[in-house]
């Protein structure tokens, strides 16, 4: 019987975590001034000590101070614009066996599908009409798509939609593959590092999938010239404050253009089925800290965040996120890209629900824009 994650909270709908943006007063805890000072320094490029990181991450202070500061920083860098990305999940086949993931190779219950080039192009056509100017091609690590095929797909999208960005998220490949795709016109690449602790990485992945290789891929991507995104799950099994400190330090050093942060959500057909999901509050905390550490990075309010709480995505935006990635996959296959249980893919998580999404976003004072939404980070490598 696995040890249950002790940082679980009731972040499911109806849980006590609903009041996250209001209340949570200081309760006279020491540190009202301390936290203000530290947040300010953080936003000016300060590298906190281990102890300071522990304090920032543990959140024994009024977290609204943190969220407000992060929102301020986001407004300073990107105003109130929210960028949208059309997410096309091109394949649910995966040769990897990551212990947390619903489309892992050994999940014989997973439904598998692949989209053809034509399918993908028709998703883009629909997305373009809706106002998307970035298409994200995401999939399991599926060797079925050769380097050349992916390059051909990228090229066709860029030919048809020269005003759009193409983002790839196809896992670990050879550096030469990444180079070919970049030359074909791919602009960005998302590859979450999952955790910046090597020991922790090994607990989340089977032998053979190495931390070193993942990190090498990330360095390669950035060097090649991609706007590069990394990211991690919050509340994944065996994660504690020390691992989250490692993530923050890694972000400060690697300086990615994009950072995807979402709660871990157990999937029934994985070895991690019995672990608790990550907490809403802790995820918001990590989003806000990331905004302060990397003011110009692009941060999505992830689907996973929207899955654990009905207002999860809005709360993510209010804590410093500035991107949403509605699902643009063909509706027939959406349910089959099941990374975790109850993954949302309908309503305003779906590209067709854009109007609904626009309203939700407007209600909290931001606006969805029709824009490629490039990162404003300097491309230092």
Long-range pairs of 203-208 with CB within 8 A, sequence gap ≥ 24:
203/99, 203/237, 203/238, 204/98, 204/99, 204/100, 204/236, 204/237, 204/238, 205/96, 205/97, 205/98, 205/99, 206/96, 206/97, 206/98, 206/99
Nearer to ligand 5AD, 65 or 305 (CB): 305
Nearer to ligand 5AD, 39 or 305 (CB): 305
Nearer to ligand 5AD, 71 or 243 (CB): 243
Task: Please state the closest distance from residue 254 (CB atom) to ligand 5AD, in A.
Answer: 16
Is 264 a binding residue for ligand 5AD by CB under 6 A? The answer is yes
**Would you give the binding string for ligand 5AD spanning residues 299-318, x where CB under 6 A is met?**
-----x--------------
Task: Please state the closest distance from residue 339 (CB atom) to ligand 5AD, in A.
Answer: 4
Residue 84 bridge partners (DSSP): 324
Which tokens in the block code for residue 108? Answer: 């014989």
Nearer to ligand 5AD, 35 or 120 (CB): 120
Is 200 a binding residue for ligand 5AD by CB under 6 A? The answer is no
Which tokens in the block code for residue 206? Answer: 């089977």
Nearer to ligand 5AD, 158 or 169 (CB): 169
Nearer to ligand 5AD, 100 or 201 (CB): 100
The span from the CA of 135 to the CA of 55, in Å, is 38
Is 339 a binding residue for ligand 5AD by CB under 6 A? The answer is yes
Strands of the chain (E only): list them: 81-84, 86-91, 134-139, 165-169, 188-190, 227-234, 258-263, 323-324, 367-369
Nearer to ligand 5AD, 53 or 100 (CB): 100
For residue 227, give every residue at least 6 positions away whose Cβ sits within 8 Å of its Cβ, in sequence order, or none.
Answer: 187, 188, 189, 257, 258, 374, 375, 377, 379
Is 267 a binding residue for ligand 5AD by CB under 6 A? The answer is yes
Q: Which stretch binds ligand 5AD (CB under 6 A): 38-46, 55-63, 128-136, 258-266?
A: 258-266
Is 366 a binding residue for ligand 5AD by CB under 6 A? The answer is no
Which tokens in the block code for residue 365? Answer: 């004072």
Is 243 a binding residue for ligand 5AD by CB under 6 A? The answer is no
Q: Which position has the token pair 């301020």?
A: 72
The span from the CA of 360 to the CA of 367, in Å, is 9
CB atoms near residue 163 (< 10 Å): 10
Q: Which stretch binds ligand 5AD (CB under 6 A): 18-26, 80-88, 143-151, 260-268?
A: 260-268
Q: How would DSSP label each residue in 94-110?
A: -S---TT-TT-TT-TTS
Is 101 a binding residue for ligand 5AD by CB under 6 A? The answer is yes
Nearer to ligand 5AD, 215 or 304 (CB): 304
Is 255 a binding residue for ligand 5AD by CB under 6 A? The answer is no
Q: What is the binding site for ligand 5AD (CB under 6 A)?
A: 100-101, 192, 194, 233, 262, 264-265, 267, 304, 339-340
């Amino acid at each position: 019987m696995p040890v249950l994650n002790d940082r679980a909270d009731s972040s499911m709908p109806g849980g006590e975590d609903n009041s996250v943006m209001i209340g949570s007063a200081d309760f006279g805890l020491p540190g009202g001034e301390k936290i203000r000072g530290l947040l300010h320094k953080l936003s000016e490029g300060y590298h906190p000590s281990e102890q300071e990181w522990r304090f920032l991450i543990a959140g024994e202070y009024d977290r609204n101070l943190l969220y407000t500061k992060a929102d301020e920083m986001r407004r300073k860098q990107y105003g109130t614009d929210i960028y949208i990305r059309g997410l096309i999940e091109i394949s649910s086949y995966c040769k990897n066996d990551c212990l947390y993931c619903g489309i892992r190779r050994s999940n014989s219950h997973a439904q598998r599908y692949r989209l053809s080039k034509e399918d993908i192009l028709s998703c883009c056509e629909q997305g373009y009409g809706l106002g998307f100017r970035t298409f994200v091609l995401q999939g399991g690590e599926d060797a079925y798509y050769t380097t050349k095929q992916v390059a051909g797909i990228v090229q066709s999208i860029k030919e048809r939609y020269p005003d759009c960005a193409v983002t790839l998220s196809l896992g670990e490949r050879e550096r030469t593959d990444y180079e070919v795709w970049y030359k074909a016109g791919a602009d960005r690449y998302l590859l979450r590092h999952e955790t910046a602790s090597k020991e922790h990485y090994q607990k989340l992945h089977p032998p053979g999938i190495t931390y070193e290789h993942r990190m090498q891929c990330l360095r390669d991507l950035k060097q090649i010239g991609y706007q590069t995104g990394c990211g991690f799950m919050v509340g994944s099994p065996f994660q504690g404050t020390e691992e989250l400190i490692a993530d923050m330090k890694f972000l400060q050093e690697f300086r990615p253009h994009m950072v995807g942060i979402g709660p871990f959500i157990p999937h029934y057909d994985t070895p991690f089925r019995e672990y608790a999901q990550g907490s809403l509050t802790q995820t918001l905390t990590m989003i806000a800290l990331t905004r302060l550490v990397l003011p110009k990075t692009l941060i999505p309010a992830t689907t996973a965040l929207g899955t654990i709480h009905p207002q999860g995505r809005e709360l993510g935006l209010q804590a410093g996120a500035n991107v949403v990635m509605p699902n643009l996959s063909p509706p027939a296959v959406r349910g089959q890209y099941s990374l975790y249980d109850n993954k949302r893919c309908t309503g305003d998580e779906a590209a067709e629900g854009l109007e609904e999404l626009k309203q939700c976003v407007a209600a909290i004072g931001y606006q969805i824009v029709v824009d490629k939404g490039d990162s404003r980070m300097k491309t230092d490598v």
